[in-house]
Amino acid sequence: MKREPIHPDTVYSREEAADVLGVSLSTIKRLIASGQLVASRPDSIRRIFIKGSSILAMLEETTLDIRK
């Protein structure tokens, strides 16, 4: 199954971020809570926003070196 590319300037909901990464909503919530995935929630708005650039940064920072 081919996934859509992650666009740095796109704003994703938690559900959309989970979908593009192929993980559960619970995993997204844990990544945000641990500080691995940066998200924002403006005052008086219930919805959480995740920039594509934050998703890409998290993927870069958590890259595994499988050659070891």
Tens of pLDDT, residue by residue over 23-50, are 999 999 999 999 999 999 988 888 999 9
- CA end-to-end span of the chain, whole Å? 29
pLDDT at position 19 over 80: yes
Residue 50 host element (H or E): strand 50-51
Of all residues in the chain, the percent with pLDDT exceeding 90 is: 74
Does pLDDT of 4 surpass 90?
no
Task: Yes or no: say if 54 and 38 are a contact pair by the CB < 8 Å rule.
Answer: yes
CA dist 22 and 18 (Å) reads 6
Please list, in sequence order, all residues whose beta carbon lies within 8 angstroms of the beta carbon of residue 16, skipping any fewer than 6 positions away. 50
Give the predicted TM-score (pTM) of the model: 0.83
Mean pLDDT over residues 12-18, rounded? 96
Q: Is the pLDDT of residue 58 over 80?
A: yes
